[in-house]
């Protein structure tokens, strides 16, 4: 009788992502098409494997002051408690309060794309976020402080040699907005360590699967997004 192997199952998840990203890189000649396919591969990974309280889409993020972020390749947001999400013909606009994480997706990582991802992440982090007191059976909880929005970059390859070494660390640390976590599927993943004010690189193994588990762990520790003040958005109906 056939037996199950958790090791084989988890390796299979990484191998699938790795192969699809590699195929996109080798097959599509047009950079825009290649990029679109890579984005869709990462989006499908999140949509399939993140817990259902989260959702992932390519989107713009907006705040109650009417300010919009840049377009973000992958936005991980709350779908359980956030009542206001605009979707027209596959174009999503998501309120800033509901965002857990944002990612830029590229074929390869380099200093230029790290800076670009930092700017994209910052365009979301700088948005205003409301938070209301939360009523419960025994009274009212104080308004919750907005959670930290995780930011990162997702790629298949690296333009550096070695793929994840000092040049990458220097690029990640050279910027005004921290990238908390990212994956280079052919080499490994990284995450920011606040207590050490530096980066940890986890090399080899099955990076796509390891990165996914690390992201889920960080989302768990982030808790739940604050209670959105919907009426702050409704004021735009009368102006």
Q: Is 150 helix (H, G, I), strand (E, B) or coil?
A: strand
Active-site residue flag, 26: no
- Spatial separation of the C-alpha atoms in residues 95 and 66, rounded to whole Å: 10
Residue 217 lies in a domain: yes
Residue 117's domain comprises: 8-129+138-234
Q: Which position has the higher pLDDT, 126 or 32?
A: 126
Q: Determine, yes or no, domain membership for 16.
A: yes
Q: How far apart are CA 225 and CA 79, in angstroms?
A: 10
Mean pLDDT of all residues in 192-221:
91
Q: pLDDT at residue 187 above 70?
A: yes
How many domains does the structure of the chain reveal? 1
Which one is catalytic: 39, 63, 73, 180?
Answer: 73
147-178 pLDDT, tens digit each: 899 999 999 899 999 999 999 999 999 877 89
pTM: 0.88
Exactly one of 97, 104, 122, 180 is catalytic; name it: 104
Among 39, 57, 106, 157, the active-site one is 106
Asked whether residue 3 is domain-assigned, the answer is no
153 is a domain residue: yes
| pLDDT tens sequence across 59-106 | 999 999 999 999 999 999 998 777 777 887 888 999 999 999 999 999
The CA angle 192-203-216, to the nearest 5 degrees, is 50
| 106 tagged catalytic | yes
């Amino acid at each position: 009788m056939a037996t199950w192997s958790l090791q084989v199952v988890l390796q299979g998840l990484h191998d699938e992502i790795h192969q699809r990203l590699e195929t996109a890189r080798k097959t599509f000649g047009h950079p825009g098409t290649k990029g679109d396919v890579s984005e869709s591969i990462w989006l499908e990974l999140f949509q399939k494997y993140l817990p259902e309280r989260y959702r992932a889409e390519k989107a713009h993020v907006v705040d109650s002051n009417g300010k919009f972020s840049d377009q973000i390749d992958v936005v991980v947001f709350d779908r359980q408690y956030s009542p206001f999400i605009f979707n027209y013909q596959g174009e999503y606009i998501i309120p800033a309060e509901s965002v857990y994480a944002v990612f830029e997706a590229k074929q390869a990582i380099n200093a230029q794309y790290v800076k670009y991802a930092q700017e994209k992440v910052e365009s979301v982090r700088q948005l205003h976020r409301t938070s209301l007191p939360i009523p419960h059976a025994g009274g009212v909880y104080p308004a919750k402080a907005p959670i930290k929005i995780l930011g990162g970059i997702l790629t298949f390859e690296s333009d550096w040699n070695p793929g994840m070494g000092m040049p990458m660390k220097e690029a990640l640390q050279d910027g005004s907005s921290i990238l908390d976590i990212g994956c280079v599927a052919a080499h490994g993943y990284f995450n920011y360590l606040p207590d050490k004010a530096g980066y940890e690189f986890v090399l080899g193994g099955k990076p796509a699967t390891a990165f996914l588990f690390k992201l889920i762990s960080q989302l768990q520790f982030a808790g739940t997004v604050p209670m959105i003040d919907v009426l702050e958005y409704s004021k735009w109906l009368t102006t």
